Amino acid sequence: MGAMIFSLGKWLGGLAFLISLLGYSGVGSAEVVEGRAQTALHMLDYIGVDYPEFVQGGQILNAEEYREQLEFAREVLGIVEQLPVAPQKSGIQEQAHQLLTLIEEKAPGDRVAIVADQLRWDIIRAYQIEIAPQQAPDLSVAEALYQAQCATCHGAEGYGDGPAAEGLEPEPTNFHEQARQEQRSIYSLFSTITLGVPGTAMPSFQRPLSEHERWALAFYVSTFITTAEEQQTGAALWQQGIGKEEFPDLQALASQTPQEVGARYGEEVRQVLAYLRSAPALLDSEKAPLDLSLEGLEKSLNAYREGHHERAQQLAVEAYLEGFELVETSLNTVAPDLRSHIEQEMMAYRVLIRKGAPVEALESQQGKLQGLLNQAREQLEEAELSTTAIALSSLTIILREGLEAVLIVGAILSFLIRSGRRDALIYVHVGWILALALGVATWFAATYLIFISGASRELTEGIAALISAVILLYVGFWLHSKAYAKGWRAFLAKQVRGALNKRTLGALALLSFLAVYREVFETVLFYQALWTQAGSEGRGAVLGGFGAGVGVLLLVSGLVFYYSVRLPIKLFFGATSVILALLAVILAGKGVGALQEAGMIPVDAVAFPSMPALGIYPNWQVLLLQGGVLAVIIAGFAYTHFASRRALSLDNAEERMQEGS
């Protein structure tokens, strides 16, 4: 059995890898398009900043720099011509031709800068280019990164006077050069860090640094042109409400230059920009989950209008996972019907995108969702989550997320105890303890170090659930077949104990790990959202509900052990096999449901009751898989039952013949 489970484990690992590839294959082409567009935007940023400096009054002040501007303009035109068809593409191509012509004619710098900036924004809008981080970066991490990666050339304080700067042509950028840096957005700094600058000592940091680290560096470097006094003034203005409308999110913060902000909104808002560049996390903390959902749906609809259906689907998934899902438990406490209605309507919105419905249909559905989400906000605000409601929400989270894990781990431990292999319990304990530790570590990393999207969370949970379902199905069949074995004492001595080698025990440890890990990360996120909603007065209720939930789980696990020890061993094996098989059906449904929430599997709704606790969701994909798994279980159990009975009959007949002879 050990070798079989080990082989199964290798196969499952391959299956998980294939599922990951299938999940991400759809975004490959989008990433190529975005990569090309990012390169064009990077060059346009340099043209807008550098051309006015080196071409003035129709005269070339630096021939080498002018040749570089011409080359950049030609490359931008080439990239634009290769971009996919979009409603705005012809206009973008005309602008790219116009920009090249202006540079060839040595046109005034301000005119070239305006055309380059307009072209840059048109590309961003037409191809839905991400120009801001998904999550506010940690600037304390960025400071260490800067000293390790940048200070050698740019200097410890960013003056371009590092020990390796001598002799470099052009010289490393001085980030305190006011005139130049006032024209640079955080996004343009991010592009330079990501792509590098050809023909200079500035390399690309796309490989050595993660996207989150590159954004952190860009934000950190952008603060060099501001003084502590400016930041303090900006902080006071922000507290007064100034800049709230101009900087509603990270995109607004990352995409605008100090020069643009000062000219458009005035000096006070420019000082707020200086402050927010040093404290971007404020824009994350200002957003409530339902606001994120509303904003995400608006972006999704805009992307769909522009013809970017794939991007619209991605944004719709994010609107659910990064927003509404985090308040589902609280809303379910005060308005369960509304919670269910919103969930169904958000799914219906994604189905419309997948089927390529008319824009009008999507606008109608988005409007309906906007009304429902605002209604949910009102319900939550009016209820103000009483102490009882908070405690109940907290209790529900731990029970909903932990009950399956307790049943699976409890069944495995009981099986080992009844098999006389208490020495093997350590394998299972290591599995679930490691899962708890890694789950909390994953949450910490996602909160403070890197960005892990809701889709990635659901993808991980979905794959883990499907792998667990297959292992549970296999173990359930194995136990059921042994429930009819002859001579239990001999069987335990020779078969079970002998079969439980290190590979088999490793598989059981993996199962206990997967059963717990798939729930831990999301559970912590749900408690984090509830902790924020509860406020200082309700946090005792959160802890109380959590403690009560843990107590219930301990009671359930105690009952599992109590009855498993007292059941006749044959009945125990049979009952355990049935429980594990049914859990496989539940996890199969939950696995597909999670992949659907991540946007990896389509959803075709059907009139059927929704029972999330049992992994039952009203769509064909889930119901057909669960029906198929259930059919396999019934057929497999029937086969092992009759095969074992036939084997027993043959053994008994042989014994009678031997006694007669």
How do residues 266-302 score in pLDDT, each as one tens digit?
999 999 999 999 988 888 655 678 888 888 898 889 8
Whole-Å CA distances, 264 to 47, 109, 645: 22, 20, 85
Distance between CA atoms of residues 113 and 49, nearest Å: 7
In this predicted structure, the answer to whether residue 639 has a pLDDT above a threshold of 90 is: no
60 DSSP β-pair partners = 55
Q: Which two tokens stand for residue 371?
A: 């009304």
Report the C-alpha gap between 592 and 608 in whole angstroms: 16
d(CA 201, CA 199): 7
**pLDDT over threshold 90, residue 219:** yes
| CA–CA gap between residue 451 and residue 141 (Å, rounded) | 14
Higher pLDDT, 229 or 326: 229
Rounded CA gap, 195 and 46, in Å?
A: 12
pLDDT tens-digit readout, 412-423: 787 777 767 777
Nearest-10 Cα torsion for 164, 169, 172, 174: 130
What pLDDT, on a 0 to 100 scale, did the predictor assign at position 273? 94
pLDDT-derived band at 56, boundaries 50, 70, 90: confident
Query: How many C-alpha atoms does 546 have within 13 Å on its Cβ side?
Result: 13
Angle of CA points 143, 220, 214, to nearest 5°? 85
Distance in angstroms (rounded) separating the CA atoms of residues 299 and 315: 7
Hunting for tokens 């035109």 — which residue is that?
A: 77
Q: 25 Cβ partners below 8 Å, 6+ apart?
A: none
| Mean pLDDT score, 525-539 | 68
* Residue type, position 381, single letter: E
pLDDT digits 0-9 by tens, 13-41 = 343 344 333 333 334 455 566 778 888 88
CA distances from 140 to 146, 176, 226, 397 (A): 10, 20, 17, 33
CATH number of 139-285: 1.10.760.10
DSSP structure class, residue 494? I
- CATH assignment of 28-126, among 1.20.81, 3.90.660, 1.20.120, 1.20.58: 1.20.120
Closest by CA position to 319, among listed 304, 334, 337: 304
